[in-house]
Amino acid sequence: MVQQLEKNQIIPLEITGLTSEGNGVGHYGPDRFAFFVPNTAPGDRAQVRVVKLLKNYGYGRLEQLDKPSEDRISSSCPVSGQCGGCSLRHISYEAECRIKNGWIQDSLRRLGGFQISMEPFQPSPDPDRYRNKAQYPVGRDENGRIQIGFYAKRSHRIVDSGGCLLHPPVFSEIAQAVGEFLTGHKIEPYDEASGRGLVRHLYIRMGKISGEIMVCLAVNGETLPHAKGFVQELTSKFPMVSSVVLNVNRKKGNVILGDRCVTLWGKDAIRDVLAGVEVELSPLSFYQVNHDSAEKLYQIAGEYAGLSGGEVLLDLYCGAGTIGLSMAGRCGRLIGVEVIPEAVENARENARRSGAHNAEFLCGDADQAAAQLAEKGIRPDVVVLDPPRKGCGAATLEAVASMSPERIVMVSCNPATMARDCRLLEEKGYRMTRIRGVDMFPRTGHVETVVLMIKK
Ligand code: SAH
């Protein structure tokens, strides 16, 4: 088939799938040779120009849309054409949920060998303006002006983010005010290529319920010139700002935050309430970016945990402790494990504020902590696992299985590692009994899954 196809040839294609990068997928000819085509949607019939041919698949460019998919919508976001953030803005939200559910199903089947029917997909209560956190790179545009925005697709060119539909409008207003301040005071943005300059990222967080805002500048240095004026500017323009922080990041590379923070003004942490848990948030602690969806997620995880009162609950990868704490009233003892020390401090404070006297938190690596708990003879009845994208890995799952809990609730932001990890748990004596997709990140190619595994 490849031999018969040529670069620049125009072929008719029906788009039948969509990747998380937002590329439509169609199959051509009797061999069903796969093409990835940007800016297309499942259901499109189109004329596509062949732009790249590889051994097993190729890339195409949309030349003409013969019949548009019924799922297509026109994007209402002013910056979606240039920014690389939202890969699914060209289809309806309903179609997005259907497609994301399909991604989970597909990973389960292909990577885990699971055939299980999924519970109804949980959409985000609000598909727009749901984010409570933004991390804007700071740099210069082609005219040398300071630019605070988003990276353009597959590049480190910073484009304007004003009007972005994922964030509350005040985030763009703060970004603009910070840009004007840096320009007015001749404070240099960081330059990735040379490693010179000061300001690398503007990082903003807001408590959904409290309305409190934290503004953090990640800098290649120890201090900010005109810091007093900076605080004055922010707090006078934005009364909800209750914390202004410098994060010291002097390392080369693209990691956004360094591990040291200096509070310039106000509180070291902002507050919020999530699923009934009083939350303290330090700049470095993980916090769910979509508050309302996170409450849905925790509700499902709580249902899967099936607690009745006396159980020992282990919350691995607990961040600021919120999942476990949302269930603390329904179990006998809660143990949380988290690798970031500030997050553990937050978790302890969150437990205290929420009156969860049965909760304790350990700082450490999940696999070592799980092994230590297993050695100490701690036998959790229920384990909640909420790992980062790379998943749990064999050692952690080994240690968890050796504690022999009745139920394991896995919360995952990556269907591929979720399927792999659940397969491992199956081999260690667990059976997948319930699974449900939850949309925490509308309009982007990310999807969350909650799984219940029960001891066979
Ligand atoms: N359950 C929390 C946080 C989930 S995000 C919530 O719902 O908010 C995953 C968390 O795992 C992050 O806080 C991250 O710091 C932590 N983490 C990442 N690798 C880890 C490891 N090897 N051991 C323990 N925690 C880890």
pLDDT attached to residue 331: 98
Q: What is the CATH number of domain 2-72?
A: 2.40.50.140
Does the pLDDT value for residue 129 go beyond 90? yes
Spacing, Cα 218 to ligand 1 middle (Å):
22
CATH T-level topology, domain 133-276: OB fold (Dihydrolipoamide Acetyltransferase, E2P) (2.40.50)
Does the pLDDT value for residue 285 go beyond 80? yes
Question: Where are the domains positioned within the chain?
Answer: 2-72, 98-125+290-455, 133-276
Does the pLDDT value for residue 1 go beyond 60? no
Q: Using a 6 Å cutoff on CB, does residue 384 contact ligand 1? A: no
Q: Using a 6 Å cutoff on CB, does residue 369 contact ligand 1? A: no
Q: Using a 6 Å cutoff on CB, does residue 366 contact ligand 1? A: yes
pLDDT attached to residue 330: 97
Spacing, Cα 382 to ligand 1 middle (Å):
18
Let me know if the fold of 98-125+290-455 is the same as that of 133-276: no
Q: Using a 6 Å cutoff on CB, does residue 318 contact ligand 1? A: yes
Q: Using a 6 Å cutoff on CB, does residue 43 contact ligand 1? A: no
How many other CB atoms are found less than 10 A from the CB of residue 456?
A: 8
Residues 287-307: pLDDT tens digits? Answer: 999 999 999 999 999 999 999
Does the pLDDT value for residue 221 go beyond 70? yes
Q: Using a 6 Å cutoff on CB, does residue 365 contact ligand 1? A: yes
pLDDT attached to residue 436: 98
pTM above 0.85? yes
pLDDT attached to residue 17: 96
pLDDT attached to residue 4: 81
Spacing, Cα 317 to ligand 1 middle (Å):
4
pLDDT attached to residue 3: 53
Residues 337-358: pLDDT tens digits? Answer: 999 999 999 999 999 999 999 9
pLDDT attached to residue 334: 98
Residues 143-182: pLDDT tens digits? Answer: 999 999 999 888 888 988 888 999 999 999 999 999 999 9
Given ligand 1 and candidates 277, 291, 297, 317, which is best to mutate, with the most ligand atoms within 8 Å of its CB? 317
Over residues 115-128, the mean pLDDT reads 96
Spacing, Cα 209 to ligand 1 middle (Å):
23
Residues 397-438: pLDDT tens digits? Answer: 999 999 999 999 999 999 999 999 999 999 999 999 999 999
Question: Which CATH superfamily does the domain covering 98-125+290-455 fall into?
Answer: Vaccinia Virus protein VP39 (3.40.50.150)
Provide the mean pLDDT of the chain. 95
Does the pLDDT value for residue 2 go beyond 70? no
What residues are annotated to the active site? Answer: 413
In ligand 1, the atom with minimum distance to the C-alpha of 411 is 1
Residues 245-279: pLDDT tens digits? Answer: 999 999 998 899 999 999 999 999 999 999 999 99
Percentage of residues in the chain with pLDDT exceeding 70? 99
